[in-house]
Amino acid sequence: MNNPQFTWTVAKMAEQLHVSPGHLQLLYKQQFGLSCMDDVIACRIRKAKDLLLYTDHGISEIAEQCGYLYIEHFCRQFRKNTGMTPSQFRNTNSP
């Protein structure tokens, strides 16, 4: 949650916890009600929303700061999770 910009994978998380990827996914889903990667994506989108609202960084810079290698992938996931593009979100919700 604190570092959504890192390149997280289930395998890397499982290795750090000394469990198998399958076991980690099972435990995570039971405990939190969503998959590890869905949680990573949610954290990335939450960080992106904050950056969009409270900074003047460009969309590509925000995508990078949130762990996305490709702006297109960031925009697709952002739209899927919020129902609008990053630019629309920024314009609609500016403080």
In a domain, 70, yes or no: yes
Mean pLDDT of the 33-52 span: 93
Hunting for tokens 């403080």 — which residue is that? 95
Mean pLDDT of the 21-41 span: 92
Domain that holds residue 80: 10-93
CATH number at residue 85: 1.10.10.60
Cα distances from 36 to residues 20, 42, 52, 54, 69, in angstroms, run: 13, 10, 24, 27, 19
Q: pLDDT tens-digit profile of 67-85?
A: 999 999 999 999 999 999 9
The pLDDT value recorded for residue 8 is 78
Distance (Å, whole) CA 26 – CA 11:
13
DSSP letter (8 states) at residue 85: -
The model carries a pTM of 0.84
What is the count of structural domains for the chain?
Answer: 1
Apex CA 3: angle with CA 42 and CA 55, to 5°?
75
In a domain, 2, yes or no: no
Distance (Å, whole) CA 94 – CA 89:
8
In a domain, 79, yes or no: yes
